Chain A
Amino acid sequence: KQEVTQIPAALSVPEGENLVLNCSFTDSAIYNLQWFRQDPGKGLTSLLLIQSSQREQTSGRLNASLDKSSGRSTLYIAASQPGDSATYLCAVFMNYGGSQGNLIFGKGTKLSVKP
């Protein structure tokens, strides 16, 4: 059974700081990894998708890396802004589904960026 862990569970930083969110997974046989953002009481917004053959993806101030062999991914946010405050969720896509489903989530990191 795949397990996804996100560290830290919560993070508070002053505006302008660069920061790293971590995601680890127990089964390295993943097909891709997707980072999502979730604002309070809202649905999920996809940020970045990294295919298993890729090492990283970039979008604006966001950069996500993937190391399948070590079962880790990081989401790097440059020059953080108060508008980045949200919960960030990491999800891995498995080829096998079953009762767990194909897309398996961590519990998220709640980020607060102070002005």
Chain B
Amino acid sequence: DTGVSQNPRHKITKRGQNVTFRCDPISEHNRLYWYRQTLGQGPEFLTYFQNEAQLEKSRLLSDRFSAERPKGSFSTLEIQRTEQGDSAMYLCASSLDRGLHGYTFGSGTRLTVV
């Protein structure tokens, strides 16, 4: 297992465009998380899935954001009508069950909205 994989690594988009990121978790992990990190800050929780069910969303997740995990394996995070304030590192993590044995993070997708 190669760990948590995120694609693309970098994305530059014009304001108003839609973007989609993909995360492939560790195969035996049933929980998948999305976090957002801006410069100089720690990662902030966006949402998480247990298998294919999205169980929690942060208030940070506006209506322009949507996440899916259709078959309980990989997940996608889509941002519609991007704004400059969406520029950040988007991190994906996975864990077994509630994460009592730790979370494993991917390398992140750096989004720049111009």
Q: What is the interface of chain A, defined by CB distance below 8 A to chain B?
A: 4, 31-32, 34, 36, 41-46, 49, 51, 89, 91, 93, 97-108
Contacts and interface: CB of A to CB of B under 8 A. Distances in A.
B40 A107 contact: yes
Given A46-B102, A101-B56, A103-B99, A4 B110 contact: no
Interface of B: 6, 33, 35, 40-45, 48, 56-59, 89, 91, 93, 98-108, 110
Q: Which 7 residue pairs across A and B have the least CB separation, nearest first?
A: A101-B45, A105-B42, A43-B107, A44-B105, A43-B108, A49-B102, A107-B42
B99 A93 contact: yes
A66 to B, nearest CB: 14
B102 A34 contact: yes
Nearest to B10: A41
Contact of B100 (A93, A98, A99, A108): A93
B91 to A, nearest CB: 6
Contacts of A46: 102-105
Contacts of B44: 105
